[in-house]
Amino acid sequence: MTVRRIRTAAATAAILTGVAACSAPGSSAGSGDAVDSVVIGVASEPDTLSPLLGYGKDGNSKIFDGLLARDVDLNLRPALAKALPEVAADGLTYTFTLRDGVKFSDGEPLTSADVVFTYDTVLDANTNNTSRNELDAIKDVRADGGDKVIFTLKYPYAPFAGRTVLPIVPAHVARGQDPNTGSFNTKPVGTGPYVLAAWSKGEKLTFKANPGYWGGAPKVKKVTMAIIEDDNVRATRLRSGDLDGAILPPNLAATFKNDKAKKTHDAKTYDFRTVTLPQENKVTGDRAIRRALDAAVDRQAMVDKILDGAGRPAYGPLPVDDPWFAKGIEREQDLAKARRILDQAGWKTGEGGIRAKDGQRASFTLLYPSGDKVRQEHALAFASDAKKAGIEVKVETGTWEVIEPRMKNDAVLAGFGSNGDPDYGLYTLLHSSLAGDGFNNMGRYDDAIVDRALDTGRRSSDQATREAAYDTLQQELVKNPGYTFLTHIDHVYVLADRWDGLTTQVEPHEHGFASGPWWNLEAWQPKK
């Protein structure tokens, strides 16, 4: 994951844009009747627009397409491929046939060589793609003529087809550039429904419709993504007519309920809010402290008071309605249990009600990104709950530039979550091999049982074996928590009611650019 994708909600923070920042010239914001352009407020911008560095890796990029894509129900469907892949009986070979007549936005045809180039570059250790481990199963990618691509895997990897939503880049443009620093990062060329027209860093990105798009020219001809980190500023600009739509926290979205010109769109998600508990910190590294915090938090109160009911308690990284969720791990706040755990571990109540052990106070710092009201409220509620058990949590805010170098020792109010197969989100969150690898495994969690479960889940093609592995993993997280999971948060969007065809998917943590009602922007139709 790139840094700014994390900053979007954790993923996934962009530069604050003030109220004075205006929508793009000629935009539809506030016009009331123009439907061929749209201005949307999002919380952050990408660091790069290159899929070689992770941009759009989970699909829905407006500039690029993958071999496959996901429909509204997250089922895989053909995109640049003519059909779903042919899979060998042993699960080790996947063969794709490319769709006829697809061209990049510069007019050059798509070929199998572009697909091979894309995957080979992402897999190259010299490419700074922090999501490379997601393609660990690939042994080889080769072209068979101009329209066939064959993937050979090292081991059967049940969810591999879902990894081929990775956007394909043109070899004739990107080859010869340094993928880490080349111009392709800011001047991309793809096969998608939109083309980047302009990018004012920290302010906005403007896209225009690709008239040669293989799926048909979009009806919305111009799209502006305004970068507005602060939730309140996004709401203010939406209310003033400066934006056509925006993602908002539930409490701010509720203020538009009587605005008949706007419509609210809700999306269930895998997006959770959690507190990282660095194992190298003398306090959060103590297992008793981590278990006590898990028992002390009132998750339901956070859903009710912070999210206005737009979410669910998080008892682990998977939401309670996910088919992979381990039944029976649900738990309510239990302050008596939290105090008992600390007493038994030798953490004795001291000055000001804060516990101490061997001269070490039960006190640590919790950081959250500035401008994120929902995270701020989670952090304060967590600190309040922790204090009732005798643990002091000092809440601080800062930009991600401030937070990132402190993640090794200080707790962070973070956000993660991937839809689809559990391997997609859990491996990068928990596996010890990725401890301290950028925003992967931020808390440097290290548990042998969890590692074995993750490896089994990744390498087995047997459904029952995989289910047992992920059940074991979730149960172990209760016994040895490396994070305090708080809530799964619904995403709420408010848009001018001028288009038909708007829907939402069950979303991952990353949202804004690729998710929300604009996941299928190319299919929107003007209201009649």
In the chain, % of residues over pLDDT 90: 84
- Whether 191 is in a domain gets the answer no
Kindly state whether residues 283 and 163 are assigned to the same domain. Answer: no
- Whether 192 is in a domain gets the answer no
Residues 391, 384: Cα–Cα separation, whole Å: 9
Res. 498: pLDDT tops 70 = yes
Q: How many other C-beta atoms are found inside a 10 Å radius of the C-beta of residue 146?
A: 11
Sign of CA dihedral 284, 285, 290, 291: negative
What is the CATH classification number for the domain harbouring 527? 3.40.190.10
Using only the alpha carbons of the chain, give its radius of gyration. 23
Quick one: 17 exposed, middle or buried, by C-beta within 10 A (0-12, 13-18, 19+)? buried
- Whether 222 is in a domain gets the answer yes
- Asked whether the beta carbons of 224 and 23 are under 8 A apart, the reply is yes
- Asked whether the beta carbons of 410 and 364 are under 8 A apart, the reply is yes
- pLDDT in the model for residue 59: 87
- Whether 183 is in a domain gets the answer no
- pLDDT in the model for residue 29: 46
SS3 282: coil
What is the CATH classification number for the domain harbouring 105? 3.90.76.10
Kindly state whether residues 343 and 372 are assigned to the same domain. Answer: yes
pLDDT digits (tens, 9 = 90+) for 234-278: 999 999 999 999 999 888 999 999 999 999 999 999 999 999 999
Kindly state whether residues 378 and 316 are assigned to the same domain. Answer: yes
pLDDT digits (tens, 9 = 90+) for 23-42: 333 344 444 447 899 999 99
Q: What is the dihedral of CA 468, 474, 475, 477, to 10 degrees?
A: 140
- pLDDT in the model for residue 512: 66
Q: How many other C-beta atoms are found inside a 10 Å radius of the C-beta of residue 90?
A: 9
Kindly state whether residues 501 and 398 are assigned to the same domain. Answer: no
Out of 183-187, 383-387, 402-406, 415-419, pick the least confident.
415-419
- pLDDT in the model for residue 27: 41
Kindly state whether residues 6 and 79 are assigned to the same domain. Answer: no
pLDDT digits (tens, 9 = 90+) for 228-237: 988 999 999 9
Report the mean per-residue pLDDT for the chain.
91
Q: How many other C-beta atoms are found inside a 10 Å radius of the C-beta of residue 56?
A: 26
- Whether 316 is in a domain gets the answer yes
- Asked whether the beta carbons of 188 and 198 are under 8 A apart, the reply is no
What is the CATH classification number for the domain harbouring 404? 3.10.105.10
Kindly state whether residues 40 and 60 are assigned to the same domain. Answer: no
Res. 456: pLDDT tops 90 = yes
- Whether 500 is in a domain gets the answer yes
Kindly state whether residues 473 and 499 are assigned to the same domain. Answer: no
pLDDT digits (tens, 9 = 90+) for 177-219: 999 999 999 999 999 999 999 999 999 999 999 999 999 999 9
- pLDDT in the model for residue 10: 33
- Asked whether the beta carbons of 323 and 331 are under 8 A apart, the reply is no
Split into its structural domains, the chain has a count of: 3
The last residue of a domain, from among 176, 192, 224: 176
Kindly state whether residues 97 and 145 are assigned to the same domain. Answer: yes
The last residue of a domain, from among 139, 159, 176: 176
Res. 67: pLDDT tops 90 = yes
Q: Give the mean model confidence (pLDDT) for residues 74-93.
A: 97
Res. 152: pLDDT tops 70 = yes
The upper half-sphere exposure of residue 376, i.e. CA atoms within 13 Å in the direction of its Cβ, equals 12
Q: What is the dihedral of CA 304, 308, 310, 313, to 10 degrees?
A: -20
Q: Give the mean model confidence (pLDDT) for residues 57-79.
A: 94
Kindly state whether residues 123 and 206 are assigned to the same domain. Answer: no
Question: Two tokens at 18?
Answer: 């003030």
- Whether 357 is in a domain gets the answer yes
Kindly state whether residues 344 and 365 are assigned to the same domain. Answer: yes
Closest CA to 362 of 442, 292, 273: 292
- Whether 189 is in a domain gets the answer no
Question: Two tokens at 471?
Answer: 């059940």
Kindly state whether residues 412 and 279 are assigned to the same domain. Answer: yes
Please report which confidence band the pLDDT of residue 133 belongs to, taking 50, 70 and 90 as the band edges: confident
Please report which confidence band the pLDDT of residue 98 belongs to, taking 50, 70 and 90 as the band edges: very high
Please report which confidence band the pLDDT of residue 511 belongs to, taking 50, 70 and 90 as the band edges: low
Kindly state whether residues 79 and 129 are assigned to the same domain. Answer: yes
- The range of the structural domain enclosing residue 209 comes to 1-45+201-267+492-528
- Asked whether the beta carbons of 226 and 243 are under 8 A apart, the reply is yes
Out of 57-61, 112-116, 380-384, pick the least confident.
57-61
